[in-house]
Amino acid sequence: MINLSALITDPDFTQQLVVQRSTGAFVLGGWQSSATPLTIAAVVTVAKERDLQQLPEGDRISGAMLFYTMTELLQSTGGATPQTSDTLTWRGDVYRISKVWPYADYGYWKAAGVRVSGD
């Protein structure tokens, strides 16, 4: 396998992003959540048609970007251990992670983010 982590960490290609990772628990009175900020390095590119076809909301997306990083990003899941999608800020806009491709064997993670704020 080809390890691409050298490209994902190359300062000529990466940008610093702030990720908000939500955590929480049910307590008396309901769900209480908190967000933990993480600063990560990522290569940011525009999502292509092929990438958007793999997203459940692919036909309604505007402002989707791809983020390649060494840090695992989380998308919403249900089941016994539910988790909430990470959000991240890039160029003043907030993106919610909607799909993660686990390429950890190749040294990186690929994630699609859908813009939830900004123009």
| Confidence at residue 79, expressed as pLDDT on a 0 to 100 scale | 63
1: confidence class by pLDDT, cuts 50, 70, 90: low
| Confidence at residue 82, expressed as pLDDT on a 0 to 100 scale | 66
16: confidence class by pLDDT, cuts 50, 70, 90: very high
- Of residues 19 and 63, more confidence is placed in 19
Q: Domain limits of the chain?
A: 5-115
CATH topology of domain 5-115: Thrombin, subunit H (2.40.10)
| Confidence at residue 32, expressed as pLDDT on a 0 to 100 scale | 73
CB atoms within 10 A of CB 113: 28
CB 29 within 8 A of CB 73: no
CA distance 70 to 42: 8
Q: Name the DSSP letter for residue 77.
A: B
**Model confidence pLDDT, tens digit, residues 43-90:** 998 887 666 655 555 455 567 899 999 999 988 876 666 678 899 999
User: What is the dihedral angle through the alpha carbons of 81, 113, 66, 75, rounded to the nearest 10 degrees?
Assistant: 0
CA distance 67 to 59: 20
